[in-house]
A and B are shown apart, each in its own frame.
Chain A
Amino acid sequence: MQANLSLLLALPLFGALVLALLGRRLSRPMVERLACAAIIAAFIAALTALAGAWGETRLVPLFPWFSAGGFSASMDVLYDPLSGIMAVMVTFVSAIIHIHSVGYMRGDESYARYFCYLNLFVFFMLVITLADNLAFLFLGWEGVGFCSYALIGFWFADAERTLAGRKAFVMTRIGDVGFLIAMALFFATLGTLSLSGIIASVSALSVGTATALGLLLLWAAVGKSAQLPLLVWLPDAMAGPTPVSALIHAATMVTAGVYLLMRLFPVLALSQAALAAVGAVGAVTALFASFSALGQRDIKRILAWSTISQVGYMFLGIAAGDLCGGMFHLLAHAFFKSLLFMGAGCVIQALHEEHDIFRMGSRVRTAMPPVFLLFFLGALALAAVPPASGYFSKGRILYATLSHGGGLFTLYWAMGSLAAILTALYTFRLVFVAFFGDPAFPPKTWDIEPLPRFMIHVLWPLGALALLAGGLNLPGNFSGAEWLSHALRTVPGADAEFHGVSELAVSLADAGFCAVGLFLAWMLYGPRTAPGRRGPADPERFAHRMLRSGFGLDALYRKTVLTPFLALSGFMRRVVDEGAVDAAFMSQGVLWARTSMAARRLATGRTSTYLLTFLLGLAAICAVLLAKGA
């Protein structure tokens, strides 16, 4: 087991190191093969690990990292069904994305750097997945942040892209402060950072501490998972190569926050306030982001906002105490969203870097039927059309939320359901506009570049999973076996049962919401709608401006945080540091110089002056002595 897990972590790291040190000396096919082989081998290692320790929870020490004065951080692996399944998903999706990338990056000079970062990213993501110690987990947590930064700004000659990367890094670092403080608080209260140790002694935490920890962890998760209020970096993160968006900004890294909350769910569960906060973040973000997705024209930005919205559902699932539902949706989303992104990447590349869905139209579908079909499968899952995977995974979360009871969670359910209608609407707006009818605006070129076939066909496994992954946890009333719930039952906190409302009724309602969304999309953007009416809304209209800009949140942050912050920084430099502190010292220097100039006048060289001052001094001393004596 230890060898297997070491291999799982070491393979991607080894790939990255070799590429970093030798990448420029290796031939292109060599680089590509090495990178893909490392991940495929890691996938096999993840599978054998899962098969070998099915249903078990094991703590596997790899090596001690550092310890001092009672504080200890070690690189240990907590292997249980949750981390095992997550590791399989991460390596599986990554392997497909690696192979797809070979095609996507075929024209790029910096392939060695690209695959190096990609391998490194998988390593860090696996660290998050497998770590037992929070400090070790943080290694992966910050590591994926760095890879994300490096890959968003991969085409660094374009300053816009590197600035988007910088924004992502800083925004997630703002969240990470919560993680760091949570680590300190765990150490101060429980004396350990080991996940298994924390969960074993979780009853020692008071409710107040648990609330504080829950909120800190939520803050960390909100940054990484691009939830309100720290979500503004993700839409800009689309500046990176599209397979990167699929891997990092859809399938894996943005779910790290969800995963962290799942790992530490027993802590959250102690505090109703923390859970309610998690739910509020999830529900509001799901709704907020699905509205924003409606206002976008860039195919990748639509998908980016939809990611934010779908991750919101996962938060909601955790808040409702449904770890299994959260994980179910995480897995299904990983499959269909990476599929959608890579499908979008195919479209973008074939259309010579065209991102605007209003310049696409039916020519895309007729020129690339397999891409359309794959994209369509992903869209079915995203829109939660039964029986695609998203229908069951999202349905499970909404069911858990409603059966949690209480006014607050009923409200969350209503928000989630409204967001479900919007999801179906924006998804099929995208499908109809990008793949049907004539483009509303003339494309820059009508030429469609043929793509290497393997980069399309490697997506079929994801297409199948997008459609069928509902089978992972088919609910009882669909005569399903609830495989995932069964598999996760030993994970702390994942044994919740839900009662109170009929699951069948909620499922039917979900199907109804989806149908409403589809109907609206058909009416507004369907192929039968007049081309003039299908076009984008007037960009000047207030409502459209709000949706397109994500309710102006980014501009608000720029105005209220970034600008004052930069002004403060300039003020501290010019006025405080140079103008006050340094000037005070420098003027002291001038003062000394002046004083010495003044004192120099006393050195006249005339005996009379010296005698006079001598007598004055003598008189002064006598006066003092007299005063003392008296």
Chain B
Amino acid sequence: MNAFPLLSTLIFLPLLGALATVLLSRSPALCRAAALGTALAELLLAACAIPLAADPGTILAENAAWIPSFGIRYALAMDGLSGLLVLMTAFLGVLAVLTSFKEITKRPGAYYAFLLAVETSACGVFLAKDLFLFYLFWEVQLVPMFFLIGVWGHEDRRKAALKFFLFSIAGGMLMLLAVIGAWLAQPEGARTFSLAALMAAPAAPHVQNWLFAAFFLAFAVKMPIVPVHTWLPDAHTQAPTAGSVILAGVLLKTGAYGLIRLAFPLFPDAAALSVPLLFVLGLAGLYHASLCALAQTDAKRLVAYSSVAHMALIVIGVAAWNAVSLSGAMLQMINHALTTGGLFIMIGMLSRRSGSRELASFGGVWKRSPVLGAFFLFFCMASAGLPGLNNFVSELLTLVGTWTGHPGVAAAAFAGAVLTLTYVLKLAQGTLFGTPAATQPEQWPDAEPLELCVLSPLAASILYLGFAPQAVLDMLRGPVSDFLPRIPQLFQ
């Protein structure tokens, strides 16, 4: 146990900042300052935690009794995977605050409070080591996101927010039943919500099947996995830019994280049985979402579908369950956040200029703003998996790893690389090239200093993870070797 409650601070610091922004809501400038200050402090704190999380010698954990009568504890821990995801959350949090400066004028106090509250809930999900605590943070995520979309979204925001809420709550309710089920499945007197204890003594196989199904459904909705993905395009399209960034970069990751951290290790027998289903869903999702992305005319919707396709690779990598594929899948969680986040931010910047998200309203962006154009092409290429940029590393690892056990699945997924390129190039073609659409306004400034502050660190991190991902992979080695043997059926 460490003297300073670093993990709790990481979780609750943004909530404190949220409180501050609410109190300061009279002055928009102060709100922004408070939000940015909190987000930066959180990033600094997360960066400080990373060396500790990376070092296998130190155990970064907190554990306190909470509701003893049900065996519920306030237990947190940070390993390499949690640490990276928290860092990523904090990083995107800063970018999300920065992108909102120009975009959000309505009730900034409440807005930044909700934005920071998402950070709290996501960090809680990534750090919880108690199933009940995990569930709590999991469900809490919904609330701030619901308001971010429903209040600060675009024209069809209410419907999109409701759809998001209903899909998520349906998944969450089943998970609650399964959480209770997992608790009841233990022998009386020794019942606990401790993840470590639950993993050490998995339930009987036929019970596992039901519990796994419920957990999986909740995570599948969040990731999302086709066919329970249809809330996502609407939510993304309607959300404000920062909302999309947080949604794609952070919230979706909680689903993938849950799959890896909870669903598989808690219910190993059921997980082993589900592998063929996961492959089918992963491949179907990859192809379905890629084809749908290609048919979109709304730039943001196109990126939303591309996001579903990229997440499908994580499903495949997890199902293959070996060291290479799992490292790739975990790394893909981070890479996807950066590339998709970058694309959403850029579309936000461009549509603020053109007044529309339709591809037809862009065109000739490079001519009008070459710096923005170059950044956009850069993010597009990262999304297309160009080697030297981040996504390539994780996708190659995921699929090469998958190949060793399941060559057919991997080959089909490799072929999906062509589809990825087609929709990415459609996006680039529609926005950057050709002649500017007639509807574009006279005023079309190139990248402003604030925008460069957002784009440059994103691009730098994409390049860094493309050329020197080893530090991150080293951090993931511990979690990978910890998870793998938990499912002996899949791991030889």
Do the beta carbons of A69 and B291 come within 8 Å of each other? Answer: no
Contact of A65 with B403 at beta-carbon distance under 8 Å, contacts A157-B435, A173-B417 already known: no
CB neighbours of B295 from chain A (8 A): 569-570, 572-574
Binds A, one of B5-13, B208-216, B245-253, B386-394: B386-394
| CB contact under 8 A between A184 and B415, given known A142-B387, A146-B381 | no
B434 touching A184 by the CB < 8 A rule?
no
Given contacts A143-B386, A180-B417, A573 and B296 within 8 Å (CB-CB): yes
A41 within 8 A of B: no
Give chain A residues whose Cβ lies under 8 Å from the Cβ of B101: none
Indicate whether A70 sits within 8 Å of B387 (C-beta atoms), given known contacts A180-B414, A569-B291, A577-B230.
Answer: no
Known contacts A68-B473, A69-B480, A170-B418; decide if A576 and B288 are in contact (CB<8 Å). Answer: yes
Given known pairs A177-B414, A183-B400, the reply for A162 and B421 (CB within 8 Å) is: no
Q: Are B434 and A159 neighbours in the complex by a CB distance under 8 Å?
A: yes
Interfacial chain A residues near B469, Cβ < 8 Å: 65-66
**CB contact between B387 and one of A138, A170, A184, A569 (< 8 Å): that residue:** A138
B407 touches A146 (CB 8 A): no
Contact A156 B433, beta carbon cutoff 8 Å = yes
Which one of B292, B388, B429 lies within 8 Å of A569 (CB-CB)?
A: B292
Is there contact, CB below 8 Å, between B387 and A68? no
**A159-B434, A576-B288 are contacts. A183–B367 as well, Cβ < 8 Å?**
no
Please give, as numbers and ranges, the residues of chain B lying within 8 Å of A180 by CB-CB distance.
396, 399, 414, 417
In the complex, the answer to whether A176 meets B411 with C-beta atoms within 8 Å is no
A153-B433, A177-B414, A569-B294 are known contacts. Are A166 and B425 too (CB-CB below 8 A)? Answer: yes
A20 / chain B contacts, CB cutoff of 8 Å: 374
Chain A neighbourhood of B401, CB < 8 A: 69, 71
Q: Which A67-115 residues have a C-beta within 8 angstroms of B?
A: 67-71, 73, 113
Residues 133-167 of B, flagged 1 when their CB comes within 8 A of A and 0 if not, give 00000000000000000000000000000000011
Q: Report how far A20 CA is from B370 CA in the complex, Å.
A: 11
By a CB distance below 8 angstroms, the chain A residues around B355 are none
**Is B328 an interface position by the 8 A CB rule?**
yes
B332 part of interface (Cβ distance < 8 Å): no
Contacts A143-B386, A174-B418, A180-B417 known; A69 to B327 CB distance under 8 Å? yes
**Residue B439 lies at the interface, judged by CB distance under 8 Å to chain A:** no
Task: Confirm or deny: B478 has a beta carbon within 8 angstroms of a beta carbon on chain A.
Answer: no
Which residues between 350 and 387 of chain B lie within 8 Å of chain A, taking CB atoms? 364, 366-367, 370, 374, 377, 381, 386-387
**B477 to chain A: closest residue by CB:** A68
Considering only CB atoms and an 8 Å cut-off, how many residues of chain B contact the other chain? 60
Q: CB distance B433 to A159 under 8 Å?
A: yes
- A135 CB-CB contact with B under 8 Å: yes
**CB of B410 closer than 8 Å to a CB of A:** yes
Decide: B400 and A170 in contact? CB cutoff 8 A: no
**B400 contacts across to A, CB distance below 8 A:** 71, 183-184, 187
User: B366 contacts which chain A residues (CB < 8 A)?
Assistant: 156
Contact across chains for B407 and A188 when beta carbons are under 8 A apart = yes
Known contacts A177-B418, A572-B295; is A71 also within 8 Å of B324 by CB? yes
A572 touches B291 (CB 8 A): yes
- Knowing A71-B397, A146-B386, say if A585 contacts B230 (CB, 8 Å): yes
B370 and A24 contacting across the interface, CB-CB below 8 Å = yes
A170 engages B414 (CB within 8 Å): no
- Which residue of chain B is the closest to A156 with respect to CB atoms? B433
Please give the distance in Å from B459's CB to the nearest CB on chain A: 11
List of B residues within 8 angstroms of A135 by Cβ: 387, 396
Q: Give the distance in Å from the alpha carbon of A73 to the alpha carbon of B387 in the complex.
A: 12
Contact for B230 among A66, A68, A581, CB less than 8 A: A581
**Chain A residues near B421 (CB-CB < 8 A):** 169-170, 173
Query: Is B429 a contact of A181 with CB atoms below 8 Å?
Result: no
Residue of B nearest to A112 (CB): B370
Least distance between A258 CB and chain B CB atoms (Å): 21
A592 to nearest B CB, angstroms? Answer: 9
A139 in the interface (beta carbon within 8 A): yes
Residue of B nearest to A24 (CB): B370
User: Which residue among B228, B326, B399, B434 has the maximum number of chain A CB atoms within 10 Å of its CB?
Assistant: B434
B292 touches A65 (CB 8 A): no
Cα A67 to Cα B328 in complex, Å, equals 10
User: Which residues of the other chain, B, contact A70 by a CB distance below 8 angstroms?
Assistant: 323-324
Contact status B166-A69, CB under 8 Å? no
- Say yes or no: is A568 at the interface (Cβ < 8 Å to chain B): yes
Chain B hits for A369, CB < 8 A: none
CB contacts under 8 Å to A, within B212-247, are 226-228, 230
A184 near B230: Cβ-Cβ < 8 Å? no
Report chain A residues within 8 Å CB of B444. Answer: none
Q: Which residues of A contact B399 (CB under 8 A)?
A: 180, 184
Closest A-chain residue to B411, C-beta based? A181
The residues of A that contact B328 with a CB separation of less than 8 Å are 68
Residue contact B386 to A142, C-beta cutoff 8 Å = yes
Interface membership of A273, Cβ < 8 A: no
Separation of A568 and B287 alpha carbons in the complex (Å): 11
A163 CB-CB contact with B under 8 Å:
yes
CB-nearest residue of chain A to B367: A157
Of chain B, the residue at the smallest CB distance from A567 is B295
- How far, in whole Å, are A628 and B396 apart by their CA atoms in the complex? 60
A64-B470 in contact given A71-B397, A162-B434 (Cβ < 8 Å): yes
Q: Decide if A589 is an interface residue (CB 8 Å cutoff).
A: yes
Do A157 and B417 touch (CB < 8 A)? no
A582 contacts partner chain B, Cβ-Cβ < 8 Å? yes
For the complex, what is the distance from the CA of A141 to the CA of B396, rounded to whole Å? 15
For A332-349 the 0/1 string (1 means CB < 8 A from B) is 000000000000000000
Question: Which residues of the other chain, B, contact A414 by a CB distance below 8 angstroms?
Answer: none
Q: Given that A157-B434, A184-B407, A187-B400 are known contacts, is A572 also in contact with B425, CB under 8 Å in the complex?
A: no
Q: Judge if A185 is at the interface, Cβ distance under 8 Å.
A: yes
Distance between Cα atoms of A150 and B326 in the complex (Å):
34
Is the beta-carbon distance between B470 and A66 smaller than 8 angstroms? yes
Q: Would you call B473 and A67 a contact (CB within 8 A)?
A: yes
Distance between Cα atoms of A149 and B384 in the complex (Å): 13
The answer to whether the Cβ of B467 comes within 8 Å of any Cβ in the partner chain is yes
Q: Are A156 and B432 in contact (CB under 8 A)?
A: yes
Bound together, the chains give a CA A174 to CA B226 distance in angstroms of: 25
Query: Which of A64, A73, A139, A589 has a CB less than 8 Å from the CB of B166?
Result: A589
| A145: nearest chain-B partner, CB-CB | B386
Asked if residues B470 and A67 are in contact (CB atoms below 8 Å), the reply is yes
Residues of A within 8 A of B326 (CB): 69
Contact mask for chain B residues 280-293; partner A; CB cutoff 8 A; 1 contact, 0 none: 00000000100110
| A576: nearest chain-B partner, CB-CB | B288
C-alpha spacing A410/B131, complex, angstroms = 72
Q: Bound state CA distance, A605 and B415, in angstroms?
A: 63
Chain A proximity of B122: nearest CB distance (Å): 25
Known contacts A66-B393, A68-B477, A139-B387: A573-B292 contact under CB 8 Å: yes
| Cβ < 8 Å to B, chain A residues 330-369 | none
Whether the Cβ atoms of A176 and B417 lie closer than 8 Å is yes
- Residues of chain A contacted by B393 (CB below 8 angstroms): 66
* A69 and B323 contacting across the interface, CB-CB below 8 Å: yes
CB contacts (< 8 Å) of B429 on chain A: these are: 159, 162-163, 166
> Which residue of chain B is the closest to A187 with respect to CB atoms?
B400
Give bound CA distance, A404 to B415, whole Å: 35
What residues on B are CB-neighbors of A153 within 8 Å?
433
Additional A-B contact list (13), CB under 8 Å, known A69-B324, A180-B396, A569-B291? A24-B370, A71-B397, A135-B387, A156-B433, A157-B435, A159-B429, A159-B434, A169-B425, A176-B417, A566-B294, A573-B292, A577-B230, A585-B167
**13 contacting pairs across A/B (C-beta < 8 A):** A65-B470, A67-B470, A68-B327, A68-B328, A69-B401, A157-B435, A177-B414, A187-B400, A188-B407, A577-B292, A581-B230, A582-B230, A589-B166
Residues on B lying within 8 angstroms of A by beta carbon are: 166-167, 226-228, 230, 288, 291-292, 294-296, 322-324, 326-328, 364, 366-367, 370, 374, 377, 381, 386-388, 392-393, 396-397, 399-401, 403-404, 407, 410-411, 414-415, 417-418, 421-422, 425, 429, 432-435, 467-470, 473, 476-477, 480
List the 4 shortest-distance A-B pairs measured between CB atoms, nearest first. Answer: A69-B323, A573-B295, A184-B403, A68-B327
